[in-house]
Amino acid sequence: MPEANHLPPKYPNGFRWLVILASVALLLLLFARFHIPGKGFTALITFGDQHASRYLAQIDPQSTYFTPDSAGYDAQWYAQLAVAPAVDDPRLRPAIDNLPYRARRILLSWTSHVLGLGRPAWILEAFVLQNLVCWLLLGWMLLRWLPPTNWGNVGRWLAVMFSFGLTFSMRGTLVDGPSLLLIAFGMVLLEQGRPWLSALVLGVSGLGKETSMLAGAATVWSDNATPRDWGKALLRGVLIVAPLACWLAYLLLVFGREGADAGSGAFAPPFTGLWRKAVGSVQALGTHPPVLAYTLSGVFAVVSLLTQFLFFALRPRIHDPWWRLGTAYAVLLVFLGDGVWDGYPCAATRVLLPLLLAFNLTVPRSPRWLLVLVLGNVSILGTPNFVSLPPGVDPRIIYGQVALPTDQAVRVSFEGGWYNAERSLLDSWRWTSGSADLVIHNPHPFALLADLSLGLNSRNARAVRLLVAGEERWRGTAVPSRQDVSITSVHLQPGPNRLQLLTDRPGEPTANSPDPRVLAFRVLGLRIDLRSRPPAP
């Protein structure tokens, strides 16, 4: 049992509870920022526009966010499996980069398809939101071992819940966070004296991520075991392996030898992957400052994982199921290859999440262990890198949506000389390189009334005009200080409605600035409030 497993007092400290609840609220607020009207949370899947031509037809660019100038990330392949979960579907071969390999991790694709009721747009939303729900459930479950009865428990709880690997999983809609929840649930069942049900849960978790089965190491030891006890442990091991083994047998039947593909670069001779990652991260510290946050994240990851490995390697506790679990993943760390260690973000931080969990539950509660605890969690310093929005994602612009039974929504597109959206904590904006157009798409068969508001400024004074359907509705001078512009009763006809922002000269480079862009004016806090249908003539 982890040393953190103490019963909470009847009346736990309210302020410590407040810290935990505030951290959950912060995560929910940050997550909500990724919602795009008309496209939901699909930006978190990271579909890359470079693969747009190969995606399934159900991946509609009108309702799905494609990251510009990007090859995307792993979730784009699993999300398509969620939309079409029959792995023998001939449409999947050209749509997915390595179908036999991706199909092995089918669990979350199946659950997303069921939760989305077979409707592609709903399936993609369910695929994203599963990670959030699993994060919340894991946080609740962790309170079993880390009740907020002292600040040490609160710190360990935060270290797990906001770890680089777990936030990486949620930001990328990956399988690692949900898999960690299933492992934690399996450990709860084991501690409750239900080893068979624990083995079943861990076996099912293998359908989400193969390495989840390593958690079965926690179930195999029994103090003062008889031969019959060891026989039962062996049968539980078979139960853990059986779900994935049966699924792999089916994949071999469908794909032949390709069904055994383990992915490229996943494994390597002992410690070679870790060594190359450590050396490469240290060398990268001399790179240009704009990428320093990312190179430091690599160093933090190496320090954290190496500390966790040494803790389990140098402090054997074979009778503790959490030590056995942590040690299983410490052994996995030894053999991870360049495909897991390379690049940013480092995938090893999420692959080894069970190691992090076991570490935080077993490090002794003594001041002399504080440095070990801190070093083992130092990778959390890279977590803020995941807060930034994908390129081009705007905050909410349309308010007061008028819905149709088809679920279509009024949309805004930026055409002409716009740069990608930028934002601070309190505001959002887009620069232009000169005159630019704003197109509001009204999907309804009737016109709408809308009010438009925005802020406007420029590095140097310049004339700006705003035209709606060719009619001038505002004229003024953009200056360095912000001025607010409001236009009421804009008629939005069915289909595209073009708003033009015209300036008297093109953008100019900024003197003594590393920014290479030519800038004309900036539009801040754009907001379109839909009111109703215009009155009948």
Domain positions in the chain are 14-386, 398-530
138 vs 408 pLDDT, higher one: 138
Q: Locate tokens 């709880």: which residue?
A: 157
C-alpha to C-alpha distance for 399 and 456, rounded to whole angstroms: 20
- The whole-number average pLDDT for the span 202-218 is 94
The band of 536, judged by pLDDT with boundaries at 50, 70 and 90, is low
Residue 16 has pLDDT above 80, yes or no: yes
Model confidence band, residue 9 (pLDDT cutoffs 50, 70, 90): very low
pLDDT the model gives residue 70: 84
Instruction: Give the whole-number percent of the chain exceeding pLDDT 90.
Output: 65
- Of residues 533 and 291, the one with the higher pLDDT is 533
Percent pLDDT > 70 in the chain is 89
Q: Which residue has the higher pLDDT, 242 or 223?
A: 242
What's the confidence (pLDDT) of residue 232? 85
CATH code of the domain occupying 398-530: 2.60.120.260
Q: Fill in the amino acid letter for 88.
A: D
Which whole number is the average pLDDT over 501-520? 86
Is the pLDDT higher at 2 or at 69?
69
**What single-letter DSSP state applies at residue 336?**
B
The pTM is what? 0.80
What's the rounded mean pLDDT across residues 77-94?
95
Asked whether the predicted pLDDT for residue 377 surpasses 50, the reply is yes
Mean pLDDT is lowest, of 188-202, 329-343, 409-423, for 409-423
Query: In this predicted model, which residue has the larger pLDDT, 444 or 142?
Result: 142
Give 408's pLDDT tier (boundaries 50, 70, 90).
Answer: low
Comparing 12-16, 297-301, 388-392, 517-521, the range with the smallest average pLDDT is 388-392
What does the alpha-carbon distance between residue 104 and residue 10 come to, in Å, rounded to a whole number? 45
Identify the weakest region by mean pLDDT among 273-277, 303-307, 324-328.
273-277
Q: Is the pLDDT of residue 462 over 60?
A: yes
| pLDDT, mean over the chain | 88
pLDDT of 97 > 50? The answer is yes
**What is residue 302's three-state secondary structure?**
helix
Q: What amino acid is encoded at 273 in this protein?
A: G
Q: Which pair of tokens denotes residue 25?
A: 């609220």
pLDDT digits (tens, 9 = 90+) for 126-136: 999 999 999 99
When computed from its CA atoms, the radius of gyration of the chain, rounded to whole angstroms, is 27
Q: Determine whether 67 is exposed, middle or buried from the number of CB atoms within 10 Å of its CB (0-12, 13-18, 19+).
A: buried
Mean pLDDT on 369-378? 96
In the structure, what pLDDT confidence band is assigned to residue 27 with cuts at 50, 70 and 90? very high
Whats the size of the chain, residue-wise?
Answer: 537
Q: What are the pLDDT digits (tens) for 243-294?
A: 999 999 999 999 988 766 666 678 889 999 999 988 888 877 765 444 556 6
Query: Taking 80 as the threshold, does the pLDDT of residue 406 lie above it?
Result: no
* Calpha distance 364→372 (Å, rounded): 10
Q: Helices marked H in 145-226 — which ranges?
A: 151-161, 164-172, 176-191, 195-205
pLDDT of residue 220: 76
Q: Which of 131-135, 228-232, 495-499 has the lowest mean pLDDT?
A: 228-232
Overall average pLDDT of the 81-110 stretch = 95
- What pLDDT is stored for residue 303 in this prediction? 94
Instruction: Write down the pLDDT at residue 391.
Output: 62
Residue 11's contacts (CB-CB under 8 Å, 6 or more residues apart) are none
Q: Which amino acid would we find at residue 466? A: L
Question: What would the mean pLDDT of 194-199 be, rounded to a whole number?
Answer: 94
What pLDDT is attached to residue 257?
81
The DSSP bridge partners found for residue 412 are 440
Rounded Cα distance, 71 and 50, in Å: 5
